[in-house]
Amino acid sequence: MNIKSFSIALAALSAAFTLSAQEAQKAADYEFTTIKENPVTSIKNQYRSGTCWCFSALSFVESEILRMKGDSLDLSEMFVVGKSYRDRAVKYVRLDGHLNFAAGSSFGDVLHVINDYGIVPQDAMPGFNYGTDKPEHFELDAALKGYVDGIKENPNRKLSTAWLKGFDGIIEAYFGEYPETFTVNGVEYTPESYRDHIGFNYDDYVNITSFTHHPFYEPFIIEVCDNWRWDSAYNLPMDEMMEVMYNAIDKGYTIAWGSDVSEKGFTRNGLAVMPVEEKKVAAGSDQERWVGKAKDEPKEEVKAELPKEMEITQEMRQDGYDRKTTTDDHGMHIYGLAQDQNGTKYFMVKNSWGEAGKYKGIWYASDAFVRYKTMNIVVHKDALPKHIAKKLGIK
């Protein structure tokens, strides 16, 4: 979910589809029937910012509040982004710059910020002090990176007591001051008391992944740059990770979902699928050289069908991670389950690109795509099937 991957993903989505992707789209229209749909808040737009991790994780937290208390909230992304950047600046300087310092981050970062600093509603800190009404962070990202690089390269090696206040000044110039108190429905809160009021408990949430270069049923630190806090995730076999996801939706829980979106099957039109690649005969084959091309036979009219999808294995997942064809691109929010006219299952995904695509901000991600391209998920611990929770030692 780093800014480079985010920019590449946006460029890919705004470009024309490749021929094979076009063919997959033209083959037949997808017809989706909802199986289970859990409550979510309204679609947001991260716009020109690399903050998918924050938008998706806060959307997940908002759904948790809907599930637990029935309250529909709009929480401040920029409160979280500012606090995250501050924590990262301290760690970056302590490590002499040997840490990723960019716009991207992880779901765990959001949970840490809420746990450590609290949270505020969107209207208490909109975060648009720079002349727009949507996030545009490229200037801010560059300013913060230049600042911390200047601090860590201080030739005296002794830091002043002012550098962190200077960093805070840049954040507040763009996002506004962090509110010490604010009022909701006539009640005054601090960020910490509001966190407690909405019922957020950091210890209730579990990070899960599935790779074979570490033992199953044990936690390990996922080796991606955006995991700058070095949070660990429980490692499950692929089938059990998918079992967690299906169980969560069935039991009324939603899922924070980190995924690769660079595959051509992840389209700008609301689909995430893994179609089987059809092998085509190369032009100028040896057979053609000697006996010529076969004459084209009249084609029978074929009924349009949905493209067949790949069968995903644990080995394919690991190969994608090891060869970096599966990367930490984008954070989204899974909230439901649907099926197409063939009975293939799809996860319903709330994105943070505004009402983009055919389904107005919603993507349908097939079982095959999710199996193959999921980097990690975060769920409430009660969403785990009991036998899996027992294997992980989670009560």
pLDDT of residue 120: 98
Judge if pTM exceeds 0.85: yes
More confident residue, 278 or 334: 334
User: Which of these ranges, 183-187, 299-303, 329-333, 376-380, has the smallest mean pLDDT?
Assistant: 299-303
3 state SS for the chain: CCHHHHHHHHHHHHCCCCHHHHHHHHHCCCCCEEEEECCCCCCCECCECCCHHHHHHHHHHHHHHHHHHCCCCCECHHHHHHHHHHHHHHHHHHCCCCCCCCCCCCHHHHHHHHHHHCCCEHHHCCCCCCCCCCCECHHHHHHHHHHHHHHHCCCCCCCCCCHHHHHHHHHHHHHCCCCCCEEECCEEECHHHHHHHHCCCHHHEEEEECCCCCCCCCEEECCCCCCCCCCEEEECCHHHHHHHHHHHHHCCCCEEEEECCCCCCECCCCEECCECCCCCCCCCCHHHHHHCCCCCCCCCCCCCCCCCECCCCHHHHHHHHHCCCCCCCEEEEEEEEEECCCCCEEEEEECCECCCCCCCCEEEEEHHHHHHHEEEEEEEHHHCCHHHHHHHCCC
pLDDT over 70 (residue 63):
yes
Question: pLDDT value at position 299?
Answer: 55
Instruction: Return the pLDDT at 18.
Output: 42
> Residues 207-238, buried b or exposed e (16+ Cβ, 10 A)?
bbbbbbeeebeebeebebbbbbbebbbbbbeb
Q: What is the pLDDT of residues 268-305, one digit of tens each?
A: 999 999 999 755 545 554 334 333 555 555 555 555 78
The pLDDT value given to residue 24: 42
Residue 214 pLDDT level (bands cut at 50, 70, 90): very high
Confidence grade of residue 20 (pLDDT, cut at 50, 70, 90): very low
Specify the pLDDT at position 300: 54
pLDDT grade for 85, boundaries at 50, 70 and 90: very high
What is the pLDDT at residue 296? Answer: 58
Structural domains of the chain ordered from first start: 3-278+306-392 (3.90.70.10)
The whole-chain average pLDDT of the chain stands at 90
Q: Tell me what pLDDT residue 303 has.
A: 56
Q: Which amino acid is at 189?
A: Y
pLDDT tier at 157, thresholds 50, 70, 90: confident
CB-based contact 61:121 (threshold 8 Å)? no
Higher pLDDT, 8 or 314: 314
Structure confidence at residue 168 (pLDDT)? 98
The pLDDT score that the predictor gives to residue 281 is 47
Residue type, 147: Y
**For the residues 69-90, what does the mean pLDDT come to?**
98
Percent of the chain with pLDDT over 90: 84
**pLDDT of the residue at 279:** 53
Mean pLDDT confidence for 130-141: 97
Does pLDDT of 244 surpass 60?
Answer: yes
Residue 4 above 90 pLDDT?
no
For residue 8, pLDDT beyond 80: no
> How far apart, in whole angstroms, are the C-alpha atoms of residue 319 and residue 139?
36
Mean of pLDDT values over 74-101: 98
